[in-house]
């Protein structure tokens, strides 16, 4: 008794057609998701462990935030994606702007348009690692000269990021994670040198 009777096409033309259709469908699904979520990057593969929660989380995360900003652990535990994420996770991203973002939100930002002088070394270090987008948590929101700024930090990092993030640098807000599914993108990217 057969449960599945799968027959694979043997000619190159049919295989090529299926591959082209798969790429077109994937591209269409990605763009449709982007339109529905109001962002140009509806999904992001996590490429570092800067948001990982492990035995260091107490000192790098809770102690830092309690000491530096006087946040309570109860307040911190209400934040979205409170257990962080790791390399290989896939994040769903929605569009966001400064008026809808708050302390605790996880944002995706790009430093390409940054005017902050504090960011030069940080941006250079990221580029050397092949990273063009940062996915970190907002730990401070403030206004200066009528402009809203954010300070961010990776939960696993011992220091906050040196850049003041502006609305024009924000590409979206992470709202959901799929554990390890991002490896579907990371493995081919690593093989072909994109990361």
CA distance 24 to 33: 14
- The tens digit of pLDDT for each residue in 87-135 reads 899 999 999 878 889 999 999 998 776 666 567 777 777 777 777 889 9
- How far is it, in rounded angstroms, from Cα 192 to Cα 10? 27
How far is 140 from 69, CA to CA, in rounded Å?
8
Per-residue pLDDT, 51:
94
Model pTM score? 0.82
Calculate the alpha carbon distances from 177 to 18, 43, 158 in Å: 29, 9, 23
Per-residue pLDDT at 195: 53
Reported as a single tens digit per residue, the pLDDT across 4-53 is 666 666 677 788 888 888 888 888 888 888 888 888 889 888 888 999 99
**What are the Cα distances from residue 1, in Å, to 4, 5, 6?**
9, 10, 14
E-strand ranges in 46-133 read: 90-94, 106-109
- Tell me the CA distances in angstroms from 188 to 27, 28, 119, 139, 176, one per residue in order: 17, 20, 30, 33, 23
Q: Evaluate if residue 71 carries a pLDDT over 90.
A: yes
- Name the more confident of 155 and 20: 155
For residues 11 and 156, the model is more confident at: 156
Higher pLDDT, 71 or 133: 71
Give 48 or 76, the one with higher predicted confidence. Answer: 76
Q: Hey, what CATH class is 43-191 in?
A: mainly beta
Q: Determine the 3-state secondary structure of 79 from DSSP.
A: coil
The CB density around residue 99, as the number of other CB atoms within 10 Å, is 8
Least confident of 66-70, 72-76, 96-100: 96-100
Residue 189 above 70 pLDDT?
Answer: no
Would you put residue 84 in left (φ > 0), alpha (ψ -120 to 50) or beta? left
């Amino acid at each position: 008794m057969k449960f599945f009777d799968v027959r694979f096409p043997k000619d190159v033309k049919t295989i090529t057609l299926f591959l082209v259709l798969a790429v077109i469908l994937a591209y269409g699904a990605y763009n449709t998701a982007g339109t529905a979520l109001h962002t140009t990057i509806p999904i992001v593969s996590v490429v570092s462990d800067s948001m990982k929660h492990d035995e260091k989380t107490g000192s790098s995360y809770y102690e830092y935030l309690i000491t530096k900003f006087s946040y309570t652990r109860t307040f911190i535990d209400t934040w979205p994606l409170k257990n962080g994420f790791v390399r290989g996770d896939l994040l769903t991203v929605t569009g966001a702007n400064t008026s809808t973002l708050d302390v605790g939100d996880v944002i995706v930002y790009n430093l390409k348009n940054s005017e902050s002088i504090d960011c030069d070394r940080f941006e250079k270090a990221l580029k050397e690692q092949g990273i063009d987008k940062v996915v970190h948590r907002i730990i401070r929101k403030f206004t200066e000269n009528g402009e809203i700024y954010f300070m961010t930090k990776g939960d696993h990092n011992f220091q906050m990021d040196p850049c003041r993030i502006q609305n024009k640098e924000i590409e979206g807000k992470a709202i959901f994670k799929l554990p390890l599914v991002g490896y579907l993108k990371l493995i081919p990217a690593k093989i072909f040198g994109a990361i």
